[in-house]
Structure 1
Amino acid sequence: MNVALWIVTGLLAAVLLVSTAKMFVPREKMAAIGGAAAQWVLDFSPGALKAIGALELLAAAGLILPAVLDLAPVMVPVTATCVALLFTGAVIMRLRRGERKTIVGDLVYLALAIFVAWGRFGPESFTS
Structure 2
Amino acid sequence: MDVFLWIVAGLLALVFLAAGVMKLSRTRQQLADSGLGWAAQFGDGTVRLIGAAEVAGAAGLILPALLGIAAVLVPVAALGLVVLMSGAAVVHARRKEPQMIVANALLLVPAAVVAWGRFGPYAF
**TM beyond 0.5:** yes
Query: What is the deviation of 1:55?
Result: 1.1
Of 102, 113, 116, the match for 1:115: 113
Runs of at least 4 residues off by over 2 Å: none
Q: Report the counterpart of residue 77 of structure 2 in structure 1.
A: 79
Cα shift readout 1:53-102 (whole Å, capped 9, x = no counterpart): 11111111111110000001011011111110011101111111111122
Q: Report the counterpart of residue 37 of structure 2 in structure 1.
A: 39
Within-5 A mapping of 1:1-128 = 1-20=1-20, 21-33=22-34, 35=35, 38-126=36-124
Structure 1 unaligned spans of 5+: none
Alignment partners' CA distance in 2, 1:60 and 1:120: 15
Alignment partners' CA distance in 2, 1:117 and 1:101: 25
Alignment partners' CA distance in 2, 1:42 and 1:75: 32
Query: What is the deviation of 1:50?
Result: 0.8
Q: Percent identity?
A: 46
User: Match of 2:123, SS?
Assistant: coil
Query: What is the deviation of 1:111?
Result: 0.3
TM-score (norm 1): 0.92
User: Match of 2:59, SS?
Assistant: helix
Count how many residue pairs are aligned between Structure 1 and Structure 2: 123
